[in-house]
Structure 1
Amino acid sequence: MQPISIGSFEEFEHYIAQELGASDYFRITQDQIQLFADATNDHQWIHCDPERAKKEGAFGNTIAHGYLTLSIVPFLWEQIVQVNNLKMMINYGIENFRFAQAVTVDSEVRLVARLKNVANLRGTVKAEVEVKLEIKDQKKPAFTGLLIFLYHFN
């Protein structure tokens, strides 16, 4: 699927209360989990020790850090919406965020996004986007929440 192209506040307004789409599925590997653990100094065995996780863990395998799944949002978001004519974008906030289900190693996830609201704040566009990270072949999403972006157009 081709990303939606948006280049102004007025173009954002057109999508209020609409689902914007879904990204491609993205596989979470043990290498990614280990690199995230190294970057954040979070080496808990449930993430980094496959043998122990299989024997003692509640999920039968290692799981991705919750914040790892959150950290891939920008990559997945760009597959849904391409914002053009942009001077700068700022991650402004996260609200009502819940990690609903663990993402086991080698699972495939995708982002689904719906534009809740958009406001023009004296030339800066505030976009509120409801998101969920779906796990392929699972009923419950990995997470749900509201992301808030600020877009400064040229």
Structure 2
Amino acid sequence: MKVIASIDDAMRLVGHELGVSSWKEIDQARIDTFADVTEDHQWIHVDADRAASDSPYGATVAHGFLLLSLIPKLSKDNYVVQNAKMGVNYGLNKVRFIAAVTAGSRIRIRSELIDAAKVADNVVNLTVRHTIEIDGSDKPAAVADLIARYVF
């Protein structure tokens, strides 16, 4: 796990891997709960019988936005920003969903700091590329460039 304790630390870490999280299972209960919260009950996510017969994946799959929502939690294994007065999500530059995550699969996050843009003397935008890997797959589930703004 990398520690970013200042804007200077962030600048030095640009281009470096920050870490790889532990594995997390994406079970059907989590997918169903996410469907309930977002009101997205498309059959490919919640109907195991239909997904087994009609889906090219042979099983239900996690919502792409479910995967994105797990980035903050899983990336805590990879790096920590210390000494900041606050940090907020600033946005996403690019997101690609590459491979489906079927129910029961395990994912993890690989994080790389790709940019640290100083906004003011005490403010920096960190752009971290998060690659969501699937256990046993050569292809990642997704790649997302997430921007977080920190005030030191």
Structure 2 length normalisation: TM-score?
Answer: 0.95
1:25 corresponding residue in structure 2:
23
Q: 1:117-142, CA deviations, whole angstroms, 9 ceiling, x for partnerless residues?
A: 11221111111111210101101111
Counterpart amino acid of residue 4 in structure 1: K
1:121 corresponding residue in structure 2:
119
For 1:85 and 1:18, how far apart are their aligned partners in 2?
21
Equivalent runs, 1:64-83 vs 2, <5 Å: 64-83=62-81
Match of 2:101 among 103, 107, 114: 103
Contact 2:71–2:109 (CA under 8 A) maintained in structure 1: yes
For 1:96 and 1:6, how far apart are their aligned partners in 2?
23
Counterpart amino acid of residue 46 in structure 1: I
Identity of aligned residues (%): 39
Counterpart amino acid of residue 61 in structure 2: I
Whether 1:140 aligns to 2:111 is no
Count how many residue pairs are aligned between Structure 1 and Structure 2. Answer: 151
Q: Shift in Å at residue 7 of structure 1?
A: 1.5
Q: 1:93-119, CA deviations, whole angstroms, 9 ceiling, x for partnerless residues?
A: 111211011100011111111111112
Contact 2:71–2:130 (CA under 8 A) maintained in structure 1: no
Q: 1:6-26, CA deviations, whole angstroms, 9 ceiling, x for partnerless residues?
A: 221111122111111111111
Q: Secondary structure at the match of 2:101?
A: coil
- For structure 1, the residue ranges without an aligned partner over 5 or more in a row are none
Q: Which moved further from structure 2: 103-112 or 84-93?
A: 84-93
Structure 1 length normalisation: TM-score?
Answer: 0.94
For 1:95 and 1:126, how far apart are their aligned partners in 2?
12
Q: Secondary structure at the match of 2:100?
A: coil
1:6 corresponding residue in structure 2:
4
- For structure 2, the residue ranges without an aligned partner over 5 or more in a row are none
Q: Would you identify which runs of 4 or more consecutive aligned residues in structure 1 move more than 3 Å? A: none
TM-align CA RMSD = 1.0
